[in-house]
Structure 1
C-alpha cells in the first residue's frame, strides 16, 4: 500500500473495501436528490416526483417524451421487422433509464434517492426551498428534508480525499474564498468516523485557500456529507440555516415569536418532533467545531 493511501485512511478513518453495486442502487458517480421521510416511502416517492417535476418544468421546460415504435413496426411480423422491434425496445429501455428523474435504492430505511439527468440538483432544490420559504405553501405531507447531491464517491479514506480535493475547488479554490460549516451524517455505516472526516475536509478546504474560514452562525456555504453504507454523497449549499436545514416542513411554517432561542436550535427541536427520529437508521449529524 502506498504512503498516500495510508495517510488518507488515517485522516478519514476509513478502511479498504471492494464491492460491486447494481444500477438500481445508489452508486459512485451519481447526482440527484437525497430525501428523508417519516415512515411512508411509497407516498414520499410520489410526492418527490411530483414536486421535482413541477419545479424542473418551470426551470428547464417540460421533459421531452421518449420515442416509441410505430404502428407499422408493431404490425410487421417478418424477421427483419422483429429484429428492428427488439432494437427499438432496447433503445427505449436505455432512454427510460436516462429520464430526468429516476428512483434508486438508497440503502437506508426512510431515505430515498432520486437520480437526476440534465438537471443541476443544487439549483433545483434551492429553487424549491426558496419558493416554499417565500410563499409558505405546504406542498408535501411526508417529505422531511430534501438535500441535493452534486457528487458521490466511495466512503473510504483515499476515495474521499481524492474526490473532495477536486470537487470542492469550485467553491473554495483560491482566489475564491468563503465562510463555511461542515454537516455530517452517517447511516448504516461505522467505518467513517465523524471527527476524522470533519477534520480531513476542513484541512482540504484550508489548503485550497487559507482565507476560507469556519462560521457556525451564518456561513455562506454548508458542506453536506451524507454517508450511506459505502457511498459518500456530497453537496455544497447556500442558505442552509435560513431554509431550516432544507426541511420542507419547517421552511413552509409561518414565523412565530414564541421561540427565544436561536433559529438553528429551534429548528433542531422542531425536527425531532416532526419525525426525524422515525427514520429508523442509526445516524449522526455534526457541524465543525
Structure 2
C-alpha cells in the first residue's frame, strides 16, 4: 500500500470519527452519588449524542426557564443534521464556556462520564430534570417531529445513592414518599436496569421496592398496562440513579426515536407483577445494545 493511500485513509478516519465516537474526552468527570440530571442512551457515537443532548435540552429549558445568560446559541441547531466536525466544534465550545465561567457559576447542563458504554450523564443545575424531560417527550409525541439522530432514551435522575441494597432501601424510604405515602397513592410499575453491576438481582430489587410502596399506602396498585407512575431504577457500577416519572408507557419508555412514531394499539397485560412485563424490551431499543447490562460492558 502506498504512503499516499495510507495517509488518505487516515485523514478519512479523522474526518468521519474513525471509530472513536465513543472515546471519552480528556478530563471528563464521572457520575457520582448526590448528583441529579439526565441519563441518555445512544446507539454508539457518544460525542454526537452529547452535542444533540445539549441542543435538545437547551431548546426546551429555554421554554421553561428562559435562555441561559452564559450560553451562546449562535449557529446551534436541533435537527441533528450536523457533520462530525461540527460535533467537535460544539463540544470544544462547551468546554471553553465552562472554563470561562470558572468558579463563578456552574452551567445548567454538564456532560459527565456515566461509567457505561452508550450511556452519557448530563448533570443538571437548578433544573427539574423530570419536568424538563417530560416536556421534551410530550412535544415530540404531539408533533411527531424528529429532533435527534443518535439519542435513544432520556431518563431523568432526581435522586442518586450507593448501589447496594441496604443503601437503596434506606434512600428509597424517603425518596418515594411524595408520590406513594398516604394520602398520596397511585398505580405504578418498576423499571429496573443494571449496567456493570453484579451485586443486585433484578427480581429481588423489584420485590423489595414493591413491598416498600405497599407499606407507604396499601392503595398503591401495580399496573403494567397504563400505570400513572413508573419508578425508574438505573444502576451503573456503584451508583443507583432514581426517578418517578409519568407517561412512561405512553412515551415509549422515554425513547425519543419511538415516541415520534404513530401510535399502535397495545396488547392487554397477562399478569400483574411490579416489574415491567418482560425483559426483551430492555434488550434492544432502536439498536441500543445492552449485552453488558448485568456484567461487563464497562467503559475503558
TM-score range normalised by the length of the shorter chain? 0.7 to 0.9
* 1:65 corresponds to: 70
Alignment partner for residue 147 of structure 1, among 155, 164, 171?
155
In the TM superposition, what is the alpha-carbon distance from 1:255 to its structure 2 partner? 3.5
* 1:35 corresponds to: 40
Q: Secondary structure at the match of 1:276?
A: coil
The change in CA–CA distance for 1:233 and 1:253 in structure 2 (over 3 A counts) is same
In the TM superposition, what is the alpha-carbon distance from 1:90 to its structure 2 partner? 9.5
Q: Which ranges in structure 1 are unaligned for 5 or more consecutive residues?
A: 1-21, 67-88, 285-289
Superposed counterparts of 1:40-59, under 5 Å = 40-59=45-64
| 1:95 equivalenced with 2:95 (yes/no) | no
Question: Does the 8 A contact of 1:174 with 1:209 survive in 2?
Answer: yes
- More moved, 23-32 vs 99-108: 23-32
* 2:286 corresponds to: 274
Q: Which of the pair has more CA radius of gyration? A: 1
Alignment partner for residue 232 of structure 2, among 224, 228, 247?
224
Whichever structure has more helix as a proportion of its residues is 1
Q: Secondary structure at the match of 2:104?
A: helix
In the TM superposition, what is the alpha-carbon distance from 1:55 to its structure 2 partner? 0.3
* 1:117 corresponds to: 125
Q: Which ranges in structure 2 are unaligned for 5 or more consecutive residues?
A: 1-26, 72-97, 270-275, 296-300
In the TM superposition, what is the alpha-carbon distance from 1:57 to its structure 2 partner? 0.5
In the TM superposition, what is the alpha-carbon distance from 1:92 to its structure 2 partner? 3.9
Alignment partner for residue 25 of structure 1, among 30, 42, 67?
30
| 1:104 equivalenced with 2:98 (yes/no) | no
The change in CA–CA distance for 1:205 and 1:23 in structure 2 (over 3 A counts) is farther
Alignment partners' CA distance in 2, 1:119 and 1:90: 21
Alignment partners' CA distance in 1, 2:141 and 2:123: 24
* 2:218 corresponds to: 210
Question: Does the 8 A contact of 2:113 with 2:120 survive in 1?
Answer: yes
In the TM superposition, what is the alpha-carbon distance from 1:94 to its structure 2 partner? 2.2
Question: Does the 8 A contact of 2:193 with 2:293 survive in 1?
Answer: no
Aligned CA-pair RMSD: 2.6
Question: Does the 8 A contact of 1:250 with 1:270 survive in 2?
Answer: no
TM-score normalized by structure 2? Answer: 0.73
TM-score normalized by structure 1? Answer: 0.75
Alignment partners' CA distance in 2, 1:205 and 1:131: 31
